[in-house]
Structure 1
Amino acid sequence: MKPIEYRAETVEEAIRLSQADLGAYEDEMEVTIKEKGSKGFLGIFGSKESVIEVSLLDKHWERKLHDFLKGILKSFDEETFSEVKLVGRTYRVRIEGEEVARLIGKHGKTVAALQHIMNIYANRMAPTKVNVTVDIGDYRLERKRLVEEIAHRTAKSALSKRNKIIMEPMLAFERRLVHEVISQYEELKSYSVGFEPYRKVVVEYSERKHSYDRKSDPKRRRYESVRPNSDRQSA
């Protein structure tokens, strides 16, 4: 975010003006004093305004997103602990509590909806494009292990049957995990089909990866490089 300039009779007034305008606390701002004002002669002649430049710190956006999250959590009437931390360009949201199953929902649909809403809000709020990930009670970690296990089983099935397998609909981060697992198998390829929230991963056996590629054969390339021109023309 580019620094925003504020002018007032004094530096203190300029800071108060910026806080009211930006909805920020003083410790959430980086203030640079460009010019200190002066009253001039008799407070009339030669008077100058104070000029400051204000940049918002990461903690401001973290608080704004956290306040938005708290408003949503109130509707669930659950006692929870939550925190928001900006890492790079990703806001990592963590929610803990004794009864958080309702926040996760069946097959993670509720937490996925919460993450979607927070992504929309964060990108409208923040000055640059960001991403939001929401983890409730280590759900993402446990789900990651399960999805990777399912992906490996699917890969082995596709290899043994040499066919195509269409998996069940998954969330975006789950599909990424599947693609990462399938990329470890040279004989397989994966791609996503369909539209949200029913988008699925297809795991497919690819015979083309086993076919002989004359151009990629290093021995043939060396042979081509030493053949006489007459031989190349007659080939």
Structure 2
Amino acid sequence: MVEVEKTAKTVQEAVNLALAELNVSREDVDVEVLEEPSRGIFGLIGTRPARVRVKVKNTAASRLRKLLDDILAAMHLQAEIFIKEENDCLAVSMFGKDLGTLIGRRGETMDALQYLLNLAVNKNQEKRYKIFLDIEGYRKKREETLQKLALKLAEKARQRGRNVVLEPMSSLERRIIHTALQGISDIATYSEGEEPYRKIIIAPKK
């Protein structure tokens, strides 16, 4: 368990110092007050600061944050990390400079990192969490790009009267394409091939 001790004029100030050093939120820690602050005689002699011990709870969110902190430190990167827990899911958003290397070509590095985080955080745990990782809002931007691409290629298939074959995509990205075109009556979509080379076919209905 990660813990630090801090001193400050007040208990709250000491706790805030610890939270900043640990890079966690208040709900992620247990706080033990070791010494209450004392003003001493006449507020001058024997003044004693507050001293606290702050321990990070062993939660899925804290394990996840620790892993991400270690990865960023090893790569000499800095980022703000936001973790939102909802039911059995942990949604992670990261923002910072030079994070493109963590995203990779078309999000491939980010997808691989997400996979590894799921394995590491859930290892030997009774309760399992599904972890979703997004960096610099990439997934939303990619979704919008794929939706536009789907409509453009559907029109191409319609005009040429023959199938359009897309390059291999992840299951998540294929789902975006299918969803974008499912309401178009004269266009059908289906997938073929084996992972990781499975691809979508956009076909005009005859």
Is the structural similarity TM-score above 0.5? yes
Q: Indicate conservation of the 8 Å contact 1:61/1:126, yes or no.
A: no
Q: Indicate conservation of the 8 Å contact 1:112/1:171, yes or no.
A: no
CA distance, structure 1, for counterparts of residue 182 and residue 58 of structure 2: 38
**1:174 aligns to what?**
173
What are the equivalent positions in structure 2 for 1:60-209 lying under 5 Å apart? 60-124=59-123, 126-207=125-206
SS of 1:67's equivalent in the other structure is helix
Structure 1 segments of 4+ aligned residues over 4 angstroms from their partners: none
The higher-RCO structure (CA 8 Å, 6+ apart) is 2
Q: 1:165 is matched by which residue type in structure 2?
A: V
SS of 1:132's equivalent in the other structure is strand
Residue segments in structure 2 that go unaligned for 5+ positions in a row: 1-26, 30-56
* Residues 124-182 of structure 1, C-alpha deviations (whole Å, 9 max, x = no match): 35534542211111111111111111011111112222322111122332211101011
Q: Indicate conservation of the 8 Å contact 2:28/2:62, yes or no.
A: no
CA distance, structure 2, for counterparts of residue 126 and residue 195 of structure 1: 31
Q: Indicate conservation of the 8 Å contact 2:186/2:205, yes or no.
A: yes
Q: Indicate conservation of the 8 Å contact 1:80/1:95, yes or no.
A: yes
> Per residue, is there more helix in 1 or in 2?
1
CA distance, structure 2, for counterparts of residue 88 and residue 191 of structure 1: 32
CA distance, structure 1, for counterparts of residue 173 and residue 71 of structure 2: 24
* Residues 53-92 of structure 1, C-alpha deviations (whole Å, 9 max, x = no match): xxxxx98211112212222222221111112222233211
CA distance, structure 2, for counterparts of residue 206 and residue 129 of structure 1: 43
Q: Indicate conservation of the 8 Å contact 1:192/1:199, yes or no.
A: yes
Q: CA RMSD in A?
A: 2.4
CA positional deviation for 1:123? 3.9
Total equivalences in the alignment: 153
Q: Indicate conservation of the 8 Å contact 2:143/2:176, yes or no.
A: yes
The change in CA–CA distance for 1:28 and 1:79 in structure 2 (over 3 A counts) is closer
- What is the TM-score when the length of structure 1 is the normalising length? 0.58
Structure number with greater Rg is 1
SS of 2:150's equivalent in the other structure is helix
Residue segments in structure 1 that go unaligned for 5+ positions in a row: 1-26, 30-57, 208-235
The change in CA–CA distance for 1:125 and 1:68 in structure 2 (over 3 A counts) is farther
> Per residue, is there more strand in 1 or in 2?
2
SS of 1:77's equivalent in the other structure is coil
Q: Indicate conservation of the 8 Å contact 2:182/2:188, yes or no.
A: yes
- What is the TM-score when the length of structure 2 is the normalising length? 0.65
Q: Indicate conservation of the 8 Å contact 1:92/1:134, yes or no.
A: yes
